[in-house]
Amino acid sequence: MDEGKEMFLIKEGNELRGEIEVYGAKNAALKIFAASILFNEPIIVKNVPEIEDIARCKELLEFMGGRVQNTGKREYKISSNLINSSILEPKISKSMRSSIVFTGPMLAKFDKVEFPHPGGCVIGERPIDVFLEGFEKLGAKITIQQNGYILEAKKLRGAKIIFKKISVTATETLMMAAALAEGKTILYNSALEPEIPALADFLNSCGAKIKGAGTYKIEITGVKNLKFKNPYVIIPDRIEAGSFAILAAILGKEIKITRCEPNHLLVFLEYLKYVGAEIEKGKNFLKISSPKKLKSIDVKTREYPGFPTDLQAPFVALLTQAEGKSIVTETIFEGRLNYIEDLNRMGAKIMPCDPRRIIIEGKTDLRGKEMESPDLRAGLAFVLAALCAKGESIIHGVYKIDRGYEKIEKRLQKLGADIERIKS
């Protein structure tokens, strides 16, 4: 990882056109890497995005004795059956929130897992109470130490778990833990994100008994072990597709977004249509053009299928180019409006109302500036803003964007964008 040394140099955007392909979903791939721990043999995964977070998962598994081999383009063989430690390496875990997902399979497979409080993008407090309550229900003993947590259980037992908060990763983590537990588990008030049924489908194809993934009630009947059968193909990244759709709505002339799953973006696409984007939807593609004028709209982020929090910052970049006043409310992560000062320095008119709400007055002419990505999605919002700003912008902290978007500059260059990765 090249923390902080690389930056993007972006010059005023031309009209963008052409095709851009969506890669495998970061937030699905990470969970499959974690799920590999449940197996007694290697698993093979395809369509894995070549992003920083995947590199960190590889390190995390290898630190415990597992082996992760790149066996082809975006294909990995993951041998977590070689794991011989129950410690999630603290430095890696702290740098990646999704390291918490590894705790479920670790506890299901071994008697114990030790891990620090997980870190990741600084977008809010990000507690893990929902996970701990779930593990306790499954019969785990929890020891809280100064530097983290130890979970122990000779055998997990099925239980009824009612999530007090909807959490994507808690749903996935406990679903995986319950897959090898004794008896039946019911997860109530589960998250509905498409990555969850994708994970359940994979586990079921290997012998797990999971019903209802993708609904609020998931029933898992524990099995003794799982048996890997066929290489698993990661679903397309809906957030990447949505990010490209926003770019197309700002600067695009018939941009075709290929290998995506438009059905995972239905509500988001309604918003995009409302602001004026011209959208043609196919089975696995989207064709989007920017309208003459973009219209303002009020947005509240919601759990799936609502407007995704991961597209909030990129959409705000779009709203700086829309005529009129928009109000954006972030309901999922309280720290996710931490980028507006930089957009204002570029010439945007964004007023904070409270820690979760902003008013955007558009349309504003943006000017290129030097900025630091605060997190993955806000970093992408800066790229979009810079592409429609007059002059030159420099975006530092590119590694944060690399956490979730594979070689974004190369893919945008193909559409005609003037963006370059340079060393500082």
Cα 372–Cα 375–Cα 381 angle in degrees, nearest 5: 75
Residue 334: CB minimum distance to ligand EPU, A: 7
Which of 95, 167, 185, 320 is in the footprint of ligand EPU by CB under 6 A? 167
Contact string 262-301 vs ligand EPU (x = CB under 6 A): ----------------------------------------
Residue 30 engages ligand EPU in binding (rule: CB under 6 A): yes
Say if CB 343 and CB 386 are below 8 A apart.
Answer: no
Q: Is the CB of residue 296 less than 8 Å from the CB of residue 323?
A: yes
- H/E segment holding residue 350: strand 349-354
Q: Least distance from C-beta 423 to ligand EPU, angstroms?
A: 25
Dist CA 397 CA 41 (whole Å) = 38
| Burial zone of 112 (CB within 10 Å; 0-12 exposed, 13-18 middle, 19+ buried) | middle
Q: Does 137 bind ligand EPU (CB under 6 A)?
A: no
CB of 301 to ligand EPU, least distance (A): 9
Q: Which of 6, 237, 310, 406 binds ligand EPU (CB under 6 A)?
A: 310
Residues contacting ligand EPU: total by CB under 6 A: 27
Report, in Å, the least distance between residue 242 CB and ligand EPU: 11
422 neighbors 6 (Cβ within 8 angstroms): yes
Residue 3 or 129: which CB sits closer to ligand EPU? Answer: 129
Here the tokens at position 161 are: 């778990």
Token duo for residue 281: 């939807």
Residue 233, strand partner residues: 46
Site for ligand EPU in 323-342 (CB under 6 A): 332-333
- Nearer to ligand EPU by Cβ, of 98 and 289: the residue is 98
Interaction of residue 168 with ligand EPU, rule CB under 6 A? yes
Interface mask (CB under 6 A) for ligand EPU, residues 356-385, using x and -?
A: --------------------xx--------
Residues 6+ apart with CB under 8 A from 11: 368, 391, 392, 393, 418, 419
Residue among 86, 95, 98, 99 that touches ligand EPU (CB under 6 A): 98
Which range touches ligand EPU (CB under 6 A), out of 5-13, 126-134, 282-290, 340-348?
A: 126-134
Nearest-approach distance from CB 127 to ligand EPU, in angstroms: 4
Q: Least distance (Å) from ligand EPU to the CB of residue 32?
A: 12
Q: Encoding tokens for residue 183?
A: 């008896």
> Choosing from 121, 206, 260, 388, which is the catalytic residue?
121
Alpha carbon dihedral 118, 316, 318, 360, in 10-degree steps, equals -170
Q: Is 65 in the site for ligand EPU (CB under 6 A)?
A: no
Decide: is 27 part of the binding site for ligand EPU (CB under 6 A). Answer: yes
Given the complex with ligand EPU, which of 102 and 228 has the nearer CB atom?
A: 102
Closest of 47, 36, 51, 55 to residue 73, by C-alpha: 47
Taking CB under 6 A as the rule, does residue 244 contact ligand EPU? no
Structure tokens at 38: 């449940």
In whole angstroms, give the CA distance from residue 228 to residue 220.
18
Contact between 401 and ligand EPU by CB under 6 A: the answer reads: no
Asked if omega into 217 is within 30° of 0 (cis), the reply is no
Q: What is the DSSP code (8-state) at residue 355?
A: T
Identify residues 210-239 at the interface with ligand EPU (CB under 6 A). none
- SS3 label, residue 319: helix
Continuous H helices in 138-259: 168-179, 195-205, 238-251
The strand pairing partners of 184, in sequence order, are 221
Tell me: does residue 117 bind ligand EPU (CB under 6 A).
no
The reply to whether 57 belongs to the active site is no
Residue of 79, 86, 309, 373 interacting with ligand EPU (CB under 6 A): 309
Which residues are the active-site residues? 121
Instruction: List interacting residues with ligand EPU (CB under 6 A).
Output: 26-27, 30, 97-98, 121, 124-131, 165, 167-170, 191, 309-310, 332-333, 376-377, 404
